Structure 1
Amino acid sequence: MPRFSIIVPVYKVQGFLRECLDSVLGQSHGDFEVIAVDDRSPDGSGAILDEYAARDDRVRVLHLPENVGLGRARNAGLARAAGDYVLFLDSDDHYTPGLLAAVAARLAATGDPDILVFDHVRTHWWGRGGRSEAADLLAAAGLETFGIRESPQYLNLFLVAWNKAYRRSFFQEHGLQYAPGLYEDAPVTYRSMVLADRIACLDRIGVEYRQRRQGAITKTPGRRHFDIFPQYEGLFTFLEQRPDLDWARPLLLERALDHMLFVLAREDRVRPADRGDFYREIRSFHRRHLPEGGFPLPDGWRGVEMRLLASAPYASYAAARGLRD
């Protein structure tokens, strides 16, 4: 059984794929398997995967019979994973040298937590950016492990699949799966974070997150960005079935609203003609999930900003944009 299973969903990335795979196969820590999922890519990506698998037996390739999208491609790879920990890597990004050795060492030092989170850096065509906004949080964690109930500020870590190592048995025990559509990272990330008993952090840049000038679907304006609403509805449907997680509902509602506002504010996501409809969806989501009178502030959460009353966080944005119910 390998220490790590690294799942790489692949679609229309033939220009980036070799750099991605080389960054994994060149790691100093070699106890891993790569499960590359060809999501019926119409370019030469599938052939590149077969080439790598032919020369390195750590690479296993799954060619899907039809295109299923990023979330379900990850699920397909996860079903074949055998490692102690599962990592997801997007095929246009790549690992920094020494990442897996550092992850292995931190997991050993923290007693194999449910989740380990590490940092990333954005890379543009003109060069590399600086540390992420999460750097201070990652540094503050040190070698300690924590749960979100006691450390809710860690819900502000970057909301993606590829900056974490998940203990595979934890992922399977809780039936975590990625849903179809955009923003598939959100429900899995938040669900896993509130379910985890022990989370650890690694204050190290592990992923070079490529900022593509074109071709990135999350930066293409259109109605597909309305996928964010069913994604979060799925998360809150799960919470309704888990009264033991009632403590997490106000935190996750605040995070959901913040994410929706971020998408609404981006001109490369929601078209001007769709802004009114998107805003009304936010209002509707808020009304459905905020109890009358708001949430009480739980014991021990002094200093945690809840922003969930009538002066909701989107009010000032809506006034500035001239949006109406």
Structure 2
Amino acid sequence: MPRFSVIVPAYKVQAYLHECLESVLEQSCPDLEIIAVDDCSPDACGAIIDEFAARDARVRPLHLPENVGLGRARNAGLGHARGDYLLFLDGDDTLTPDALRSIADRLKETSEPDVLVYDYARTFWSGEAVRNRLAGQLTEQGPAPFRLEDRPGLLTMLMVVWNKAYRRDFVERAGLTFPPGLYEDTPWTYPALMSAETIATLDRVCVHYRQRRRGSILGTPGRGHFDVFDQYDRVFAYLDAHPELAHWRPLLFRRMVDHIATVFTRRGRLPRGSRA
């Protein structure tokens, strides 16, 4: 049973997948497995995954018979994960050197929390890397582990799945899965943070989040961006099913409005004629 299961969904990322997988396999903490999920990609992603699996037994390939989208591809990977902790990494992003060693050390220091939140930096084609502007929320000062009530500012950060390590038995106990559609991280990350009994932070950039000039999902216009409404419906349905979490409703409402406003104002998301 490995320490970490790193789930990497891949769809139309052949230009970046080598670098992504290498960044995991070259970690100084080798106790890991990669669940590499070929989401029926029409390019060479499947072949690249098989190439890596042939030379490193830690890579476990999973080829889906049809394209199911990012969330469901992650779900498929979850079903094969055996590690103590689950990490998600998109096929066009990378882990920074020694990231897993730092994560492992922090998990040990903080008594194996349900969720560990770490930092990321946006990387650009020019080579520039810009750290998350809310990095101050990840301070390691103060008691750890803690509950979300002690550090509610974590909910102001970008609600993505790939800047956290999740204890696998916590994920199974909480019944966390990804829904279909865009913005699929939203109904995973909010429930994960709200329901975790123990949380810790790591004040270190562990992921390089590639800012692609073209071809990224969020940068492609289409009516799929209206999925943001369905995803927040799922978040509030989770609150309805867990009345002990009702006190988070006002903050989540404000976060929802901010997110919807971002989708509306970002150029290149909504197609012409759909903004009203």
TM-score range, shorter chain: over 0.9
Aligned Cα root-mean-square deviation (Å): 1.2
In structure 2, the residue matched to 1:147 is 147
In structure 2, the residue matched to 1:239 is 239
- 1:52: Cα distance to partner? 0.5
Q: Letter of the 1:266 partner, please give it.
A: R
- 1:149: Cα distance to partner? 2.1
In structure 2, the residue matched to 1:133 is 133
Structure 2 CA distance for partners of 1:49 and 1:236, relative to 1, 3 Å: same
In structure 1, the residue matched to 2:263 is 263
What do residues 185-228 of structure 1 show as CA deviations (whole Å, max 9, x unaligned)?
01100010100111111111111111111111111122110000
Separation of aligned partners in 1, 2:61 and 2:266: 36
Q: Letter of the 1:213 partner, please give it.
A: R
Q: Letter of the 2:8 partner, please give it.
A: V
- 1:271: Cα distance to partner? 3.5
- 1:243: Cα distance to partner? 1.0
Q: Please give the TM-score of this superposition, normalised by the length of structure 2.
A: 0.97
Per the alignment, in what secondary structure is the counterpart of residue 92 of structure 1? coil
What do residues 255-313 of structure 1 show as CA deviations (whole Å, max 9, x unaligned)?
1111111111111212452222xxxxxxxxxxxxxxxxxxxxxxxxxxxxxxxxxxxxx
Please say if residues 29 and 98 of structure 1, whose CA atoms lie closer than 8 Å, have aligned partners that are also in contact.
yes
Structure 2 CA distance for partners of 1:228 and 1:141, relative to 1, 3 Å: farther
1:22 and 2:22 aligned:
yes
Q: Greater shift after overlay, 207-216 or 125-134? A: 125-134
| Structure 1: 5+ residue stretches without partners | 277-325
Q: Letter of the 1:29 partner, please give it.
A: C
Structure 2 CA distance for partners of 1:103 and 1:13, relative to 1, 3 Å: same
Please say if residues 143 and 200 of structure 1, whose CA atoms lie closer than 8 Å, have aligned partners that are also in contact.
no
Q: Greater shift after overlay, 140-149 or 257-266? A: 140-149
Separation of aligned partners in 1, 2:6 and 2:35: 6
Please say if residues 140 and 202 of structure 2, whose CA atoms lie closer than 8 Å, have aligned partners that are also in contact.
no
- 1:144: Cα distance to partner? 2.2
Q: Letter of the 2:165 partner, please give it.
A: A
Separation of aligned partners in 2, 1:93 and 1:141: 29
In structure 1, the residue matched to 2:115 is 115
- 1:129: Cα distance to partner? 2.5
Q: Please give the TM-score of this superposition, normalised by the length of structure 1.
A: 0.83
Structure 2 CA distance for partners of 1:105 and 1:87, relative to 1, 3 Å: same
Please say if residues 123 and 129 of structure 1, whose CA atoms lie closer than 8 Å, have aligned partners that are also in contact.
yes
In structure 2, the residue matched to 1:85 is 85
Q: Letter of the 1:26 partner, please give it.
A: E
Separation of aligned partners in 1, 2:88 and 2:259: 21
Please say if residues 37 and 61 of structure 2, whose CA atoms lie closer than 8 Å, have aligned partners that are also in contact.
yes
Q: Letter of the 1:85 partner, please give it.
A: Y
Q: Letter of the 1:44 partner, please give it.
A: A
Please say if residues 115 and 167 of structure 2, whose CA atoms lie closer than 8 Å, have aligned partners that are also in contact.
yes
Q: Letter of the 2:27 partner, please give it.
A: Q
Per the alignment, in what secondary structure is the counterpart of residue 127 of structure 1? coil
1:254 and 2:259 aligned:
no
- 1:251: Cα distance to partner? 1.6
Q: Letter of the 1:274 partner, please give it.
A: S
Q: Greater shift after overlay, 65-74 or 137-146? A: 137-146
Per the alignment, in what secondary structure is the counterpart of residue 130 of structure 2? strand
What do residues 119-165 of structure 1 show as CA deviations (whole Å, max 9, x unaligned)?
11111111223211121111255662221223211111221111000
Q: Greater shift after overlay, 120-129 or 28-37? A: 120-129
Per the alignment, in what secondary structure is the counterpart of residue 269 of structure 1? coil
Separation of aligned partners in 2, 1:16 and 1:153: 33
1:60 and 2:33 aligned:
no
Please say if residues 111 and 145 of structure 2, whose CA atoms lie closer than 8 Å, have aligned partners that are also in contact.
no
In structure 1, the residue matched to 2:9 is 9
Per the alignment, in what secondary structure is the counterpart of residue 209 of structure 2? strand
Separation of aligned partners in 2, 1:45 and 1:69: 15
- 1:171: Cα distance to partner? 0.6
In structure 1, the residue matched to 2:50 is 50
Q: Letter of the 2:179 partner, please give it.
A: A
Please say if residues 9 and 89 of structure 1, whose CA atoms lie closer than 8 Å, have aligned partners that are also in contact.
yes
Alignment of 1:291-310 (within 5 A): none
Please say if residues 142 and 201 of structure 1, whose CA atoms lie closer than 8 Å, have aligned partners that are also in contact.
no
Please say if residues 222 and 271 of structure 1, whose CA atoms lie closer than 8 Å, have aligned partners that are also in contact.
yes
| Structure 2: 5+ residue stretches without partners | none
Please say if residues 28 and 101 of structure 1, whose CA atoms lie closer than 8 Å, have aligned partners that are also in contact.
yes
Separation of aligned partners in 1, 2:147 and 2:270: 34
Q: Letter of the 1:70 partner, please give it.
A: L
Length, aligned pairs only: 276
- 1:24: Cα distance to partner? 0.3
Q: Letter of the 1:170 partner, please give it.
A: F
Per the alignment, in what secondary structure is the counterpart of residue 260 of structure 2? helix
